[in-house]
Amino acid sequence: MSFPLLTATAALPAIGAVATAAVPAAKRSAAKWLALAFSLATFALALVIAFRFVPGAKGPYQLTESHAWIRDFGVRYDLGVDGIAVALIALTTLLIPFVILAGWHDADPLEDTAASDGGSAAGNPRWRPTQGFFALILAVEAMVVLSFEATDVFLFYIFFEAMLIPMYFLIGGFGDGAHAGGEDQAATQRSYAAVKFLLYNLAGGLIMLAAVIGLYAATADQLGTGTFSLQQIVEARAAGKLDLGTGTERLLFLGFFFAFAVKAPLWPLHTWLPNAMGEATAPVAVLITAVVDKVGTFAMLRFCLQLFPGASRWATPVILVLALISIVYGALLAVGQRDIKRLIAYASISHFGFIILGIFAMTTQGQGGATLYMVNHGISTAALMLAAGFLISRRGSRLIADYGGVQKVAPVLAGTFLVGGLATLSLPGMAPFVSEFLVLVGTFSRYPVIGIIATLGIVLAALYVLVLYQRTMTGPVREEVRTMPDLRIRELVVVAPLIALLLFLGVYPKPLTDIVNPAVHHTLSVVDKKDPKPAVQVNAVPGGGRHGHAAPDQDVEAAK
């Protein structure tokens, strides 16, 4: 197509970031509305991509764009989307307007009311760049969208790393003010969380950079000209023109996977996430876990499995065990949390374990469920975290023990919090249930023991969500929450569409599965994995009917 739709979808929020940052300081309200307008326009372009995308069309990528960039090093500006990328671009562009609306006042100037000598209050305003806050959000959106669109490995790497910079400032400069230790301690904790986030992800990125260079050298050695093109590498290997060798392929795979496992995050590389989500504002916490972290799991599907299929099969047993540990460990730590936001962070670690489990189960159901889980987890976590943020902003505390009886004074807030929690525990009828069920079915069909143990995560999720709701929303009304206001119009506009989506996709996930499944089949074909054959024989019966019987005296192959 003549119009560069993919470029425009990434360029629009980037232009919006520059325009928002350029708004004069006295026009804070104008900066907010401008950022919201750009985010809505970007979502409109994402919808155009979704409608122009044809599921099952010939070729792995559609709406492609290809231009020479750094000719001497074989770097190209190559963009293209498959069904998985389309779903995640739609998720990202959908959530950003809600993130902006939810954080409407998060970057307003604060008044320092600390008492001075003699007990008088010093009204010194602590300036925060409102324009910068919303500009950084749009910058993150642009980089995430380009990461989902890039089919050149080097191009992907640039934006995979570049998004760390605006995220660092969003965590460290605009953190949560609900801190028991006061503003000074809050600033210290925000700085610690931001630095930890940056160091962990930079370490992963540097290791990946070494692997990217190694991949280029290997392709140059065998193809004559080095390339970073994902499609060219996959096609060269399929044609027998490229053979990385077992040792080289495994080392390169580990370099890529390590960076993605940090971003995802996968145990034991997860420890930055609770700090970052705990100290960030609720909208920025949503940006971290519902948007940025999805780049890690997406990249496992697009790059790890397709670039290094042999190494992916080799590493699968270990990765499945790590994913299983993430599921159980994250859920257990969520049960014991006293901080609402850290509880949601540990719950997300458990959910990312399910996503990675589905990816490396190497089955159609598993990978399809994992992709749906990326989308559904983004929506459910956004609903729960934003409702929790509205709750925390009213009380000024993140501690569960500081709440009680909220449903009696703010029933709409309590109701939205409950729905977000029920979606998080994958209640049947809610969107995450479909994806979690598919992941478990896909895992059980190939690795039954791991699939059985993973169901423990479901039980623990019910425990930490229901206990959280009971302790904060039910029981006697605490004195501190008696005057708590219910949700305002702006806040309802944020959470109501998310809840509606959770219900809609919970009963009718077909629009997503139709888009995602062809991409999943392509990925499995590249990795050369097929779904395991059923252990129950299906025999023909007279009259053309069919029924199932166990075949104790014959194996499946002999019975066919």
Can you give the pLDDT of all 560 residues of the chain as single tens digits? 578 999 999 999 999 999 998 888 778 888 899 999 999 999 999 999 999 998 878 878 889 898 888 888 888 899 999 999 999 999 999 999 999 999 888 777 654 333 333 333 333 334 457 888 899 999 999 999 999 999 999 999 999 999 999 999 998 888 765 555 556 676 778 888 889 999 999 999 999 999 999 999 888 888 878 888 888 888 888 888 888 888 888 999 999 999 999 998 898 988 899 988 888 888 999 999 999 999 999 999 999 999 999 899 999 999 999 999 999 999 999 998 898 999 999 999 999 999 999 999 989 899 999 999 999 999 999 999 999 999 988 888 888 888 888 888 889 999 999 999 999 998 999 999 999 999 999 999 889 999 999 999 999 999 999 999 999 988 888 888 788 888 899 999 999 999 999 999 999 999 888 899 898 888 888 877 777 776 665 554 555 554 444 444 444 344 33
Q: Residue 438: is it exposed, middle or buried by C-beta count within 10 angstroms (0-12/13-18/19+)? A: buried
Dist. CA 35–CA 262, nearest whole Å: 30
Helix ranges (H only) for 224-308 are: 230-238, 246-263, 272-279, 282-286, 294-299, 305-307
Question: What's this model's pTM, rounded to 2 decimal places?
Answer: 0.88
Asked whether the beta carbons of 516 and 300 are under 8 A apart, the reply is no
Between CA 376 and CA 420, with CA 400 as vertex, the angle to 5 degrees is 20
**Closest by CA position to 402, among listed 343, 335, 478, 475:** 478
Q: Who's near 207: CB < 8 A, 6+ residues apart?
A: 255, 258, 259
pLDDT of 395 reads 85
Cis peptide upstream of residue 268 (ω within 30 degrees of 0): yes
**Closest by CA position to 67, among listed 134, 6, 137, 145:** 6
**Region of residue 63 (left: phi > 0; alpha: psi -120 to 50; beta: else):** left
pLDDT of 316 reads 92
Structure tokens at 554: 């014959």
Q: Who's near 345: CB < 8 A, 6+ residues apart?
A: 273, 274, 276, 277, 278, 285, 289
Dist. CA 76–CA 67, nearest whole Å: 6
Helix ranges (H only) for 53-181 are: 83-102, 130-149, 153-162, 164-173
Helix (H, G, I), strand (E, B) or coil at 343: helix
Between CA 284 and CA 289, with CA 285 as vertex, the angle to 5 degrees is 120
Structure tokens at 516: 């995602």
Angle between helix 164-173 and 130-149 (nearest 10): 150
Dist. CA 157–CA 162, nearest whole Å: 8
Residue 240, CA distances (Å) to 59, 222, 223, 234 in order: 19, 11, 11, 10
Distance of CA 419 to the CA centre of its chain: 20
pLDDT of 129 reads 75
For 478, which DSSP code? P
C-alpha torsion sign, points 440, 444, 447, 453: positive
pLDDT of 105 reads 82
pLDDT of 327 reads 95
Structure tokens at 187: 């600033």
CB atoms inside a 10 Å sphere around CB 184: 10
Residue with the two structure tokens 């400032």: 169
- Could you give the dihedral angle defined by the CA atoms of residues 146, 149, 151 and 152, in that order, rounded to the nearest 10 degrees? -10
Phi, psi for 550 (deg, rounded to 5) = -70, 145
